[in-house]
Structure 1
Amino acid sequence: MPPSTSTTTSADGTRLAVYDYGNAEAPVLICIHGYPDNAAMWGPVADLLAEEFHVIAYDVRGAGESDQPSSTSAYALDRLQQDFRAVIDAVSPDRPVHVLAHDWGSIQAWHFVTDPALTDRIASFTSISGPSLDHAGYFLRQRSQAALRQLLHSWYIFYFHLPWFPELAWRRGWAHRVFDRLEKQDAGGRSIGDYVNGMKLYRANVVSRLIRPSERRTDVPVLAVSPEDDPFVTTPLQTEVTRWAPNVTVEVIRGGHWMPRKNPGLVAELVRKHTREVAGWGT
């Protein structure tokens, strides 16, 4: 069944498209997509979880049907946190929510989960292929073989910081051919705006966070899911976080970066398992 659609407005006036898969009496699960996706990516996962959760997805600013701010500063993590807060205030003002996030959705969700102001609003966090940028800043300072390997995997981040050329490459279709080979999956449902606007996420946050990382901690139960064939994010970067998140469980699985698209059944099962352990369901 297709979700109902509404909008909510963030603190700076940005309108966000919100998709509600029903089951309003169930625990709320907020799904946050990454780059260059939009909330439609979560459809197959939401369908599998809709009997157990009140599933909510939203288009991150710049993507899908949400507003597309023109300034790079509008995509800073603190602005994304205001968006998240606007969504949960609208759909679950009185109960903590479970969070499922992928790629840049996970990067921003780590920012939310490690903010003491939101500690009592988040019941659990399932993170797929996305680290905290602050944690990554400390990880890369180790100057270890694992850190060097991650830098090699992160080549595209330096590319996204180039002026004007990455936008041109997306608009002309050149970049699609390169990234399609890396994704090895159907990337349907994306617009040029999803590709172009989302690069501002990198430009607004990556360099400053890696150079001057903050010590961000959380006691929220976290499931860190690392596909072993991810061409962009290595397993150590995602899973060596017990210093910051002592209540973390690690799952290294077979598969690639776009696991929510390619294997929604596995994603749904991981969420069920994690939230049952957190909430004591089925015990």
Structure 2
Amino acid sequence: MPPSAQAITSTDGTRIALYDYAPESDLPVLVAVHGYPDNARLWAPVAAELADEFHVVTYDVRGAGESGQPREKAAYHLDRLEDDFLAVVDAVSPDRPVHLLAHDWGSIQSWHFVTSERSLGRISSFVSISGPSLDHAGFFFRKRRPIRESLGQLLHSWYIFYFHLPWLPENGWRRGWANRIFSRLEQSADGRPSETGERSLGDYVNGLNLYRANVLPRLLHPVERQTDVPVLAVSPDGDAFVTTPLQTDVERWAPNLTVRVVRGGHWMPRNDPGLVARLVLEHTRELAR
């Protein structure tokens, strides 16, 4: 059954497209946040798997899908993304905290939410897939660790440097050759064809500002950010972009932490929604004991 679609307005006036899979449900609310270059449709198979246990809500991150597309880089700062998230939570669960599920850049921004005073008391649990906190990553590279770990992550992160280049990344998406390169990476990570037809050119181009507004400032000047929220950090063993140490070496910041290394590639929500649903259910059931 398709979700109910509505639009809400964030603090700065940006339109946020919200999709409610059970608007009349009394089940616990689960908010799912997609990454780059996806939109909220990424979560449809996972929402179907969780329909009996959760009131699932998704939304298009600003710049993606049917949400507003600010042009200025500053509009994609993590604090603005948190404004959007809190507007969603206010709309769908004003009186109860929500469970949070996120992937890729959705997870990067969700780490910002769960470690923020503004979101304190609004989040019951967090399942993070293939997306570290940028602040935690900044400290990760400062910590004395085996050279293979730091070098391995730098090699996995080559695309971040590419996304910071002027003009070239946008041109690559518009002309299509960048899509072919990244589609091969998605396929090699999971060993199966990549289904990306639900994405638009705007999803690719606008989302570059997520990197340009946040990555270098956070890596160069990380802030100590901690959370007591129960976190499940999920690391696919075939992730082409994020290494397991970067995703899971976060107990200093999230002491209520569970780590799962699983078979699969970076785009787990698309390629193995059943596994994602099982991980969410296991994590939240543990909390209920």
Show structure 2 runs of 5+ residues with no match: 188-193
Contact 1:37 1:190 in 2 (8 A): yes
Structure 1 counterpart of 2:245 = 236
Q: Could you tell me which residue of structure 2 aligns to residue 172 of structure 1?
A: 175
Counterpart check, 1:254 vs 2:266: no
Secondary structure of the equivalent of 2:207? helix
TM-score, normalised via structure 2 length? 0.96
The residue that corresponds to 1:2 in the other structure is 2
Indicate whether 1:11 and 2:11 are aligned. Answer: yes
Partner of 2:191: none
Partner of 1:189: 198
Q: Secondary structure at the match of 1:120?
A: coil
Corresponding position: 1:33 with 2:42: no
2:155 maps to amino acid: L
For residues 270 and 118 of structure 2, the distance between their equivalents in structure 1, rounded to whole angstroms, comes to: 32
Contact map agreement 1:119 1:220 (CA 8 A) in 2? no
Q: Does 2:263 match 1:265?
A: no
Paired amino acid for 2:182: F
Write the distance in 2 (CA, Å) between the matches of 1:63 and 1:279. Answer: 34
The 3-state SS of whatever aligns with 2:179 is helix
User: How far has the Cα of 1:118 moved from its partner?
Assistant: 1.3
Determine which of 182, 207, 210 is the counterpart of 2:219: 210
Q: For residue 104 of structure 1, what is the aligned residue in structure 2?
A: 105
Decide whether the 8 Å contact of 1:32 with 1:101 is kept in 2.
Answer: yes
Quote the Cα distance in structure 2 between the aligned partners of 1:278 and 1:28: 15
**How far apart are 1:141 and its partner, in Å?**
1.3
Q: State the identity %.
A: 69
| Structure 1 counterpart of 2:70 | 69
Structure 1 residue runs of 4 or more that deviate by more than 4 Å after TM superposition: none
Gap regions ≥5 residues in structure 1: none
Alignment partner of 1:199 is 2:208: yes
Structure 2 residue aligned with 1:158, among 157, 161, 165? 161
**Deviation per CA, 1:223-266, whole angstroms, max 9, x where unpaired?**
00000110100000000000000001000000000010000000
Name the TM-score, length of structure 1 as normaliser: 0.98
C-alpha separation between the residues in 2 aligned to 1:117 and 1:279?
25
| Count, aligned residues | 280
For residue 188 of structure 1, report the CA deviation from its aligned partner.
1.6
* Cα shift at 1:143: 5.4
The DSSP-based 3-state class of the residue aligned with 2:121 is helix
Q: Deviations over 1:6-54 (max 9, x none)?
A: 0111000001000000052000000000000000000000011111111
Using the alignment, how far apart are the partners of 2:122 and 2:12 within structure 1?
21
In structure 1, give the amino acid aligned to 2:178.
A
Q: Deviations over 1:186-214 (max 9, x none)?
A: 11200000000001000000000000000
1:148 is displaced (CA, Å) by 1.6
The whole-number CA distance in structure 1 between the counterparts of 2:273 and 2:21 is: 16
1-side partners of 2:57 and 2:263: how far apart? 27
RMSD over equivalenced CA pairs, Å: 0.8
Give, in whole Å, the separation in 1 of the partners of 2:20 and 2:52.
13
